[in-house]
C-alpha cells in the first residue's frame, strides 16, 4: 500500500469516531460475521461488526469474549431488534465492555438506545429513509449507517444515490454517517467521503475474502452472479406482508413466490387464517441463510447478497481487499485534484 494522504484526510472523522485507521466497516452478516472474520477485519485496521443474529445469549457472550481474545482493536456488536433473544442480548451486553453497539433488524426504541449508551458504548443505528434518520438522531444515536436498497439482507426501499442527496447532505455535519448499500470499490468510497460520509460499510466484498468462513459453493455462486441476480423478496399483496430481503435468485426464492400465491388463494377461500398464513411466510426462510452459507445449499438456502455482487469475480485475502480500496480511493482523489487544478 502506498501513501494515502488525501484519503486519510477525508477519513479522519470516521477514523476518530471508530478508533480505527480506516473507517471501512465489514457489515454484520449472520453466520458470516463471526469472531475470526471480525477480528481479522479489525487487525487489518478496519472496523469489524459481530453479528448477534438469533444466537442464544450465552453463545453471543462467548462470541464477544472470543473476538476480544483475537484482537485488541475496537469492534461493534450488532443487535437484531426482532431477534427472539434481543432483550436478553441488550441486558447481557452491559457487562461485556463492548465499545460499539449497532442496532439492526428493525429500529430501536428511545429507551433501548439510552440503555445501550449507558453501558459506555457508542451507538450506531441504521437508517433507510430520511424520517428514520431523523428519529434515530433524536433518540441519541452517536452515528448513522445510511443503507440503500442495493444492499444485501434486510433492506429498505430507497437507493443509496437518493439517500446521499436526501439524508447525507442534510445531516452529515451533525452526526457521523457511514454509507452502505452498493459500496464496493475504492473509487466509490472516495466519492462517498467527498459527499460527506465518515466512512463506508461493505458486506458482499467481505464475504468474498479468504478469511470469511462460508461454504465454497456460497462463494462460487457469488463469482458467477450478475448484479441483476440479487433481487428483493417479492410481496404480492399487502394482506400478506413480507419484509424485503435482497438475495440471489434461486429455486428457494421462486418457491417463496409460489407459497405466497397459494396462501393468498387460501385466505381468499377462507381455508387459512391471516395469522397462520403470516406464520407460514415467516417460517419459510427460517434457517435458510445457515443452509446456504454454512452447509452450501445454494438451491434452496438464502443467498443474501447485495447488487455489488456483480462487481465481484474472485476471492481475495482481506489484506488485498483493503489495499485495493485504499489505492483506488487515493488515485481517484488525485485524479479529481488534477481535473480541478
Residues 147 and 169 in one domain: yes
Q: What is the pLDDT of residue 36?
A: 97
Lookup: cell for 103: 442496532
Q: What is the pLDDT of residue 266?
A: 94
Asked if residue 239 belongs to a domain, the reply is: yes
For residues 57-69, average pLDDT:
96
Q: What is the pLDDT of residue 2?
A: 67
Confidence at 54, pLDDT banded by 50, 70, 90:
confident
From 129-143, 202-216, 253-267, 281-295, the region with the lowest mean pLDDT: 281-295
Q: What is the pLDDT of residue 281?
A: 85
For residues 96-125, average pLDDT:
95
Residues 273 and 335 in one domain: no
Residues 169 and 24 in one domain: yes
Asked if residue 230 belongs to a domain, the reply is: yes
Confidence at 1, pLDDT banded by 50, 70, 90:
low
Residues 253 and 133 in one domain: no
Asked if residue 314 belongs to a domain, the reply is: no
Confidence at 243, pLDDT banded by 50, 70, 90:
confident
159 pLDDT above the threshold of 70: yes
* 54 and 28 Cβ atoms separated by less than 8 Å: no
Sequence-distant (6+) residues with CB within 8 A of 1 are: 322, 323, 326, 327
Kindly provide the b/e burial profile for residues 45-56, where b requires at least 16 CB atoms within 10 angstroms of the residue's own CB: ebbbbbbbbbbe
Helix axes 186-194, 5-18, angle to 10 degrees: 70
Mean residue pLDDT across the chain: 95
Residues 109 and 180 in one domain: yes
Burial class (CB in 10 A: 0-12, 13-18, 19+), 331: middle
Angle (CA) 340 164 320, round 5°? 75
For residues 310-318, average pLDDT:
97
3-class secondary structure for the chain? CCCCHHHHHHHHHHHHHHCCCCCEEECCCCCCCCHHHHHHHHHCCCEEEEECCCCCHHHHHHHHHHHHHHCCCCEEEEEECCCCCHHHHHHHHHHCCCCEEEEECCCCCHHHHHHHHHCCCEEEEEECCHHHHHHHHHHCCCEEEEECCCCCEECCCCCHHHHHHHHHHHHCCCCCEEEECCCCCHHHHHHHHHCCCCEEEECHHHHCECCCCCCHHHHHHHHHCCHHHEEECCCCCCCCCCCCEEEECCHHHHHHHHHHHHHHHHHHHCCCCHHHHHHHHHHHCCCHHHHHHCCCCCCCCCCECCHHHHHCCCCECHHHHHHHHHHHHHHHHHHHHHHHC
pLDDT in tens, 174-201: 999 999 999 999 999 999 999 999 999 9
pLDDT in tens, 251-298: 999 999 999 999 999 999 999 999 999 888 888 887 899 999 999 999
Residues 170 and 76 in one domain: yes
The count of domains in the chain is: 2
Asked if residue 120 belongs to a domain, the reply is: yes
Lookup: cell for 170: 442534510
Residues 242 and 298 in one domain: yes
Residues 130 and 11 in one domain: yes
Residues 92 and 201 in one domain: yes
Asked if residue 242 belongs to a domain, the reply is: yes
Residues 102 and 235 in one domain: no
Q: How far is CA 81 from the centre of its chain?
A: 14
Asked if residue 220 belongs to a domain, the reply is: no
Closest listed residue to residue 224, CA positions, set 203, 208, 202, 206 = 208
Asked if residue 335 belongs to a domain, the reply is: yes
| Backbone conformation region of residue 144, classed left if phi is above 0, alpha if psi is from -120 to 50, else beta | beta
Q: What is the pLDDT of residue 222?
A: 97
pLDDT in tens, 4-22: 999 999 999 999 999 999 9
Residues 175 and 230 in one domain: no
Q: What is the pLDDT of residue 184?
A: 97
* 52 and 83 Cβ atoms separated by less than 8 Å: yes
Domain that holds residue 68: 5-214+324-340
Amino acid at each position: 500500500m502506498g501513501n494515502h494522504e488525501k484519503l486519510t484526510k477525508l477519513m479522519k472523522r470516521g477514523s476518530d469516531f471508530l478508533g480505527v485507521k480506516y473507517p471501512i466497516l465489514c457489515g454484520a452478516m449472520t453466520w458470516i460475521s463471526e469472531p475470526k472474520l471480525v477480528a481479522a477485519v479489525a487487525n487489518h485496521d478496519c472496523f469489524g461488526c459481530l453479528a448477534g443474529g438469533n444466537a442464544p445469549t450465552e453463545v453471543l457472550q462467548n462470541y464477544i469474549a472470543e473476538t476480544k481474545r483475537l484482537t485488541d482493536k475496537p469492534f461493534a456488536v450488532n443487535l437484531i431488534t426482532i431477534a427472539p433473544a434481543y432483550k436478553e442480548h441488550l441486558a447481557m451486553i452491559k457487562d461485556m465492555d463492548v465499545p460499539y453497539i449497532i442496532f439492526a433488524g428493525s429500529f430501536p426504541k428511545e429507551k433501548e438506545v439510552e440503555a445501550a449508551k449507558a453501558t459506555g458504548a457508542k451507538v450506531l443505528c441504521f437508517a433507510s429513509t430520511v424520517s428514520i434518520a431523523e428519529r434515530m438522531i433524536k433518540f441519541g444515536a452517536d452515528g448513522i449507517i445510511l443503507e440503500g436498497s442495493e444492499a444485501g439482507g434486510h433492506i429498505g426501499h430507497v437507493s443509496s444515490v437518493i439517500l446521499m442527496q436526501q439524508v447525507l447532505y442534510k445531516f452529515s455535519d451533525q452526526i457521523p454517517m457511514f454509507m452502505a448499500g452498493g459500496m464496493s470499490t475504492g473509487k466509490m468510497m472516495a466519492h462517498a467521503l467527498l459527499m460527506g460520509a465518515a466512512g463506508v460499510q461493505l458486506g458482499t466484498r467481505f464475504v468474498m475474502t479468504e478469511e470469511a468462513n462460508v461454504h465454497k459453493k456460497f462463494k462460487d455462486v457469488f463469482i458467477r452472479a450478475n448484479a441483476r441476480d440479487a433481487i428483493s423478496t417479492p410481496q404480492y399483496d399487502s394482506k400478506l406482508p413480507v419484509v424485503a430481503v435482497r438475495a440471489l435468485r434461486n429455486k428457494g426464492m421462486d418457491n417463496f413466490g409460489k407459497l405466497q400465491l397459494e396462501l393468498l388463494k387460501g385466505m381468499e377461500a377462507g381455508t387459512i387464517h391471516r395469522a397462520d398464513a403470516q406464520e407460514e411466510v415467516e417460517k419459510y426462510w427460517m434457517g435458510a441463510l445457515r443452509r446456504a452459507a454454512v452447509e452450501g445449499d445454494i438451491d434452496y438456502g438464502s443467498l443474501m447478497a447485495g447488487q455489488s455482487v456483480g462487481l465481484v469475480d474472485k476471492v481475495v485475502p482481506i489484506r488485498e481487499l483493503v489495499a485495493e480500496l485504499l489505492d483506488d480511493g487515493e488515485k481517484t482523489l488525485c485524479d479529481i485534484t488534477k481535473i480541478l487544478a
